[in-house]
Amino acid sequence: MGLKISSYEQFETYIGKELGVSEYVQVDQARINAFAEATLDHQWIHTDPERAAKETEFGTTIAHGYLTLSMAPYLLGQIIELDNLKMGVNYGVDKLRFMSPVKCDSRVRMRAELSEMKNLRGTARAKIKITIEIEGVDKAACVGEVTYLYQFAD
C-alpha cells in the first residue's frame, strides 16, 4: 500500500506532487472478453484473436480504451489508502486521451499526481492527473485528469 491519507488537510499537502505508482496488472484476453460482455462492445479487434492477428497492425487483440480507464480506481487504490473516509465517488474525467493501444497480455500500471484540491463545504474535490503506462512501451496507454469527491469523517 502507498500513502495513507486521513483528512482533507493531509491530502492537500500533496498538491502538485506525485502520489505514487501502482503495481502492474496484466490485461489478458479473459479480462478483455469480460469487459466486452459487460459493455456489450464486441468489436472484433478486442474479441477475435485470430482475426486481429491477421488483419491488424497490432498482431493481437487490444483492450478497449474504456477498459484501460476503468482500471483507474483499482490502480489508484494501490497508490493511496484513504482512511477515515465516509464516502468517495467518481465525479468526472477531463483531458482524457488514449495514446497507445494496450495489446492483449500486456501489463499496465498507473502513475498519479494530485493536481488540485478544493474544499466544497466539507466535501473534498480532488483532481488527480493519471498516466496509465504499458510495461516496455514508451508511450502511455492513456492520460487524463480524474476528479473524485471525498467526504472524510470528522
* pLDDT tens-digit map of 14-25: 999 999 999 999
* Cα(112)–Cα(80) distance, integer angstroms: 9
Domain assignment of residue 105, yes or no: yes
User: pTM, whole model, 2 decimals?
Assistant: 0.92
Q: What is the residue whose three cell numbers read 508511450?
A: 139
* Cα(50)–Cα(60) distance, integer angstroms: 8
46 Rama sector, left if φ>0, alpha if ψ -120 to 50, beta otherwise: alpha
Domain assignment of residue 36, yes or no: no
Domain assignment of residue 42, yes or no: no
Closest CA to 13 of 21, 22, 4: 4
45-62 burial: b if 16+ Cβ within 10 Å, else e? bbbeeeebeeebeeeebb
- Count of Cβ atoms closer than 10 Å to residue 66 Cβ: 14
Residue 128's pLDDT is: 98
Q: Which helix (H) or strand (E) holds 113?
A: strand 106-120
Compute the mean pLDDT over every residue in the chain, rounded to the nearest whole number.
Answer: 96
Tens digit of each residue's pLDDT (9 = 90 or more) over 47-100: 999 999 999 999 999 999 999 999 999 999 999 999 889 999 999 999 999 999
Q: What angle do CA 126, 129, 120 make, to 5 degrees?
A: 15
Tens digit of each residue's pLDDT (9 = 90 or more) over 105-134: 999 999 999 999 999 988 999 999 999 999
With a cut of 80, say whether residue 154 has pLDDT above it: no
Q: What angle do CA 27, 33, 34 make, to 5 degrees?
A: 90
Distance of CA 147 to the CA centre of its chain: 12
Residue 122's pLDDT is: 86
Domain assignment of residue 55, yes or no: no
CB of 20 closer than 8 Å to CB of 131: no
Domain residue limits at 135? 3-27+62-152
Domain assignment of residue 38, yes or no: no
Domain assignment of residue 138, yes or no: yes
With a cut of 70, say whether residue 1 has pLDDT above it: no
With a cut of 70, say whether residue 35 has pLDDT above it: yes
Domain assignment of residue 75, yes or no: yes
Q: Assign residue 122 the CATH number of its domain.
A: 3.10.129.10
Domain assignment of residue 135, yes or no: yes
Structurally, the chain folds into a number of domains equal to 1
Residue 118's pLDDT is: 96
